[in-house]
Chain A
């Protein structure tokens, strides 16, 4: 009986934690996508702020890709190359969007 109660507690808390994690990822990615679509390039700071927590739940490869592109964007901005910086920002948006699509529990992702 004790073992059953522990198992139910583990099951419920794991599911709740996973759901919370999924919600956190979706909210964060939506916020990041929104910011990346703006003209102010604040996506770099926001990404630096959130990437540590997101890497707990997201594939590190995906996180590294976005980080690399954000670094590129920063470099182009500092170099005064706004055209390339804009391209990097678009790439970041697209990367974030593809990560977000992968996190949605739709039929395609499940099966």
Chain B
């Protein structure tokens, strides 16, 4: 039992390192190949946890090889367009100016029902409203509506909205987050000024954000009864 605990902890740490090296991506953003590699890594890692007869080294070697090969091939794909199209495929246009490209549908093994479902998920209920629909390399559908069907933008309304910066966290749970100072043009002097103006101390603040344009949002800690 102790062996299982030690093995699990080691493999957990290994997987954390491997996932950090492989980079941050959500499951929905993974390319099919990346998804398969991720599943394979998790499967291989569980084998020595379940069976103490199998040397853990076998799993560690396989996990490290898969992860490093994945990163290397991803990096090579970024350098070479040809390699990228081999490993990741190419996006395919399946609707042009409201007309379905049936040849591409067959090639993708996409049924009309699949397409309609994907369009509905994009709030599109009529194929004729679509100017272009593209099946991306990760299998998701991107839709560009015809100009008269697109939602009005601020530019269309000729409005002049106020420019806002990126609100970043300056104080979190009483702690000053200096690493975010550069993102929102903040410094210690400015922070002390804002705190003084709001009659607050950093240790009493749960959350403080600043957007670089002078807009501050402060949530003070509730006093515990």
Contacts from A to B (Cβ < 8 Å): 3-4, 6-8, 10-11, 14-15, 17-18, 21, 55-61
| Interface CB pairs A-B, < 8 A, 27 | A3-B21, A3-B23, A3-B71, A4-B75, A6-B71, A7-B71, A7-B72, A8-B72, A10-B64, A10-B67, A10-B68, A11-B65, A11-B69, A14-B65, A14-B68, A15-B65, A18-B61, A21-B57, A55-B55, A57-B55, A58-B55, A59-B53, A59-B55, A60-B52, A60-B53, A60-B54, A60-B55
Which of B21, B61, B67, B68 has the most chain A CB atoms closer than 10 A to its own CB?
Answer: B68
B51, closest chain A residue (CB): A60
CA A18 – CA B61 in complex, angstroms? 7
Query: B67 contacts which chain A residues (CB < 8 A)?
Result: 7, 10
Number of chain B residues whose Cβ lies closer than 8 Å to a Cβ of chain A: 17
Query: B57 contacts which chain A residues (CB < 8 A)?
Result: 21, 56-57
Query: A61 contacts which chain B residues (CB < 8 A)?
Result: 53
B58, closest chain A residue (CB): A57
CA A10 – CA B55 in complex, angstroms? 20
CA A7 – CA B67 in complex, angstroms? 8
B5 to chain A, nearest CB (A): 17
Query: A7 contacts which chain B residues (CB < 8 A)?
Result: 21, 67-68, 71-72, 75
Query: B69 contacts which chain A residues (CB < 8 A)?
Result: 11
Known pairs A8-B68, A11-B69, A59-B53; A17 contacts B21 (CB<8 A): no
A66 to chain B, nearest CB (A): 14
